[in-house]
Chain A
Amino acid sequence: MTAPQRSAGAAIEIRKASKHYGAFTALKDIDLHIRPGEFMTLLGPSGSGKTTTLNLIAGFTDISSGALEIGGKSVTGLPSHKRNIGVVFQHYALFPHMTVGKNVAYPLSLRGIKGDDREKRVRRALDMVKMADFAHRYPNELSGGQQQRVALARALVFDPPLLLMDEPLGALDKKLREWLQLEIKRIHRELGTTFVYVTHDQEEALVLSDRIAVFNGGRIEQIGTGRELYDNPATLFVGRFIGESTVLRGVAEASGDNTIVTISGQKILAHGRLAGDARPVILLRPERVALKRPGVDAITGENRLTGTVAEAIYLGSGSKYEVRLADGTTAVARSPLGAVDFAIGDTVDIAFLPSDLILLPDDASADVTLT
């Protein structure tokens, strides 16, 4: 089935934007550039400013200071109903007194589109989300996933150059969520519309996005592709929020171009050193950590820390271990199929190369409970 017309997506330019609610600052000087047709996800814990940013773009609230341009035009002071932006809400927000067909026709009627033309576009939009058979039903006769598909059709039927989605799959169960993620990705590919997607689920962000902006405490910590954020996090917060990780803290000293971190008497070598006098911490990705019997299988230059297996989980495609280190830290390691099996209580070494660890400045705010 063909979707609504392919439209050129709009670019979004946010410069030095802040938002205050009384004494509370929801956004502090954020800069965000979204390219035409891009799938940009705003990722962060609740209260980090991602939804506020979405509301600013949608025109539901005004920015306190800074500039906001959509498609090259400043939209400051322009009310939401004149912005021509599709919005999908977590709570669906379908009109309960209208049928599915009437809901989807609503934005078209407001634009003076009537008769056959309107019917055709409603049909096309419902086809796109595979809900054409439900046009005569009322929203309360549909499941959550069906309602959200209708909401998506309603937000896209008028061919907006920009679609905003605020945790659209937050209220759905896992299976349905995964299927709808793929549907959303497909629709984005077909339409060429700029999508801005808000979520607190980092996996969802990785599945969907061209680029991800990670929010924390009203600021953007880093903007990049999923791979960039995972492999090269700019801050400890980003490193911990995206993917699984182990954070190692110890006494750090510079040694030439390298940094040596001493943890419970064992020395860890890290390439590079941090600018300034920030305290360095080490971030490890589970698949970069190997488990070895103490003192066995050493590779030149490898770092090792001794600990005890606290948890061993069989995942089918491999195993996941939690290792309690001497200083009380829990390290996470993933080993592929065929690797040596370890049991809870075994004494093991976690082993990793200096090139596999990520050296980052310590940041207490990264330790808040992450969801």
Chain B
Amino acid sequence: MPSFSRILLGLFCLLVAILLLAPTLVVIPMSFNGNKSLAFPPVGFSWQWYENFFSNPDWTTSFTNSLIVALIVAVVATVIGTLAAFGVTRAAARTGGLLRALLITPMVVPGVVLAIGIYAVYLDAHLVGTVTGFVLAHTMLAIPFVLIAVQASLEVFDRRLETAASSLGAGRLTVFRTVTLPLILPGVLSGALFAFITSFDEIIVALFITSPYLKTLPVQIYSSITRDADPTVAAVGTLLFIATSLIIIAGLLLGMRRGRT
């Protein structure tokens, strides 16, 4: 029989969970609104905002743009961030610490400041409104996440396994491919996931470097909601919520299976 204080603690946790989840959950009923309004509670029921998302080219192209940019960023940032993590982990302690602090700045510097700087440079370099521009900016923002995730894996990785592999006849690249990479892969994958999400839902820098010809999904959501109260925004939000939930659940299940063996 749990004690009174335990029940109280449980109820308190539930309250916090509801507070954290409520804004997200509000979006779901709104997406089925019968009227063209973002009022809550919604009136009536319809699928029309989902239809609009999949048929309106404004939405489909911005979604495709975001997907393309985020996928490229995930690959590029993961490669660079992993290499950086190796450098930071295996450099002398002081140099490593300094490098790490430097590499993490994009995470610490206020987004607006970064956005202004990037915008100023992009105007001259004609990178505003280009995929290259988006990829470059978002890669910069994503590298710290990869660095942190991979570094955590590398710190628990037993380097003596590399010595053993070398004694068995493996050159440096083979050692990396057959021993090091498979063992730090969870860190690399979670770094890649972070990089993807960082890019996919990035809005501040995107607002600065966007153009009528290249909009990402967050930019489209923002401009749509400021122009008119379009419940398609809620439909997009619901779809993204479901997609991210699925990814996280899959990740957890995979982790559980790994934990058992």
Residue B171 is within 8 A (CB to CB) of chain A in the complex: yes
Any A CB within 8 A of the CB of B166: yes
Contact for B168 among A59, A91, A154, CB less than 8 A:
A154
Residue B55 CB within 8 A of the other chain: no
Inter-chain CA distance A80–B179, complex, in Å, is: 16
Question: Is B169's CB under 8 angstroms from A107's CB?
Answer: yes
Q: Which one of B161, B165, B166, B167 lies within 8 Å of A86 (CB-CB)? A: B167
Interface residues of A, dominant DSSP: loop
Given A95-B179, A106-B178, A138-B261: A60 in contact with B169 (beta carbons within 8 A):
no
What mask results when residues 84 to 105 of chain A are scored 1 for a CB within 8 Å of chain B, else 0? 1111010101011100000000
A110, CB-defined interface residue at 8 Å: yes
Closest approach, in angstroms, between the C-beta of B101 and any C-beta of chain A? 27
Q: Which of B166, B179, B261 is close to A81, meaning CB atoms less than 8 Å apart?
A: B166
Q: Does A214 sit within 8 A of B, measured CB to CB?
A: no
Known contacts: A106-B168, A154-B168. The answer to whether A93 contacts B183 by CB under 8 A is: no
| Residues of chain B in range 168-222 having any CB-CB distance to chain A below 8 Å | 168-171, 174-175, 178-179, 182-183
Alpha-carbon gap, A268 to B145, bound state (A) = 77
> A87 to B178, Cβ gap below 8 A?
no
Q: Is the CB of B160 within 8 A of A81?
A: no
Query: B105 contacts the other chain (Cβ, under 8 Å)?
Result: no
Contact with A along B52-93 (1 / 0, CB 8 A): 000000000000000000000000000000000000000000
As a 0/1 sequence over residues 119 to 134 of chain A, the CB contacts with chain B under 8 angstroms (1 = contact) are 0000000000000000
Given contacts A89-B160, A138-B261, contact A58 B167 (CB under 8 A): yes
- CB-nearest residue of chain B relative to A96? B183
Give the residues in chain A near B161, CB-CB below 8 Å: 93, 95
Contact residues in B for A110 (Cβ distance below 8 Å) = 168-170, 174
With an 8 A cutoff between CB atoms, is A195 at the interface? Answer: no
Contact A91 B261 (CB under 8 A): no
Query: How long is the Cα–Cα vector from A97 to B179 in the complex, in angstroms?
Result: 8
Residues on A with C-beta less than 8 A from B261 are: 138
Taking CB atoms, residues of chain B closer than 8 Å to A155 are: 167-168
A158 at the interface (CB under 8 A from B): yes
Tell me if A81 and B182 are in contact (CB < 8 A): no
Contact present for A81 and B170 (CB under 8 Å): yes
A60 touches B163 (CB 8 A): yes
The residue in chain B whose Cβ has the minimal distance to the Cβ of A97 is B182
Residue of A nearest to B175 (CB): A81
Cα A352 to Cα B56 with chains together (Å): 106
Number of interface residues of A (CB under 8 A): 26
* Inter-chain contacts of A87 with B (CB < 8 A): 164, 167
Q: B111-148: contact bitstring with A at CB < 8 Å (1 yes, 0 no)?
A: 00000000000000000000000000000000000000
Q: Is A47 an interface residue (CB 8 A)?
A: no
Q: Are A80 and B160 in contact (CB under 8 A)?
A: no
Q: Is A111 an interface residue (CB 8 A)?
A: yes
Task: Tell me, rounded to whole Å, the shortest Cβ–Cβ distance linking B164 to chain A.
Answer: 4
Contact B166 A97 (CB under 8 A): no
A residues within 8 A CB of B174? 110
| Nearest CB in chain A to that of B261: its residue | A138
Shortest Cβ distance from residue A347 to the other chain B in the assembled complex, whole angstroms: 56
**B169 touching A158, Cβ below 8 Å:** yes
Nearest-CB residue, chain B, relative to A157: B168
A84 x B183 contact (CB < 8 A): no
Contacting B160 at CB < 8 Å: which of A83, A91, A138? A91
Give Cα distance in the complex from A111 to B168, angstroms: 10
**Complex Cα–Cα for A310 and B182 (A):** 60
- Whether A93 lies near B171 (C-beta < 8 A) is no
User: Complex formed: what's the CA distance from A327 to B167 in Å?
Assistant: 53
A84 vs B170: C-alpha distance in the bound complex, in angstroms? Answer: 10
Complex contact A95–B166 (CB within 8 A): no
Which B residues are CB-close (under 8 A) to A345?
Answer: none
Within 8 A of B (CB), among A110-158: 110-111, 138, 154-155, 158
Interface centre among B166, B169, B179 (most CB of A within 10 A): B169
Whether A93 contacts B169 by the Cβ 8 Å rule is no
Complex Cα gap A73–B155 (Å): 38
A58, A60, A95 — most chain B CB neighbours (10 Å): A95
Complex CA gap A13/B176 in Å reads 32
Chain B residues near A265: list those with CB within 8 A: none
Beyond the given A89-B160, A89-B164, please list 20 additional residue pairs across the A-B interface where CB-CB is below 8 A: A59-B167, A60-B163, A60-B167, A79-B166, A80-B163, A81-B168, A81-B171, A82-B169, A84-B169, A85-B167, A93-B160, A93-B161, A95-B164, A95-B165, A95-B179, A97-B182, A97-B183, A107-B168, A110-B174, A138-B261
Cross-chain pairs A/B with CB under 8 angstroms, 25 sampled: A58-B167, A79-B171, A80-B163, A80-B166, A80-B167, A81-B168, A85-B167, A87-B164, A89-B163, A91-B160, A93-B158, A93-B161, A93-B163, A93-B164, A95-B161, A95-B183, A96-B183, A97-B182, A97-B183, A106-B170, A107-B168, A110-B170, A110-B174, A111-B169, A155-B168
Q: 6 tightest A-B contacts by CB?
A: A93-B164, A87-B167, A107-B168, A110-B169, A80-B166, A81-B166
Taking beta carbons and an 8 Å cutoff, which residues of B are in contact with A?
Answer: 158, 160-161, 163-171, 174-175, 178-179, 182-183, 261
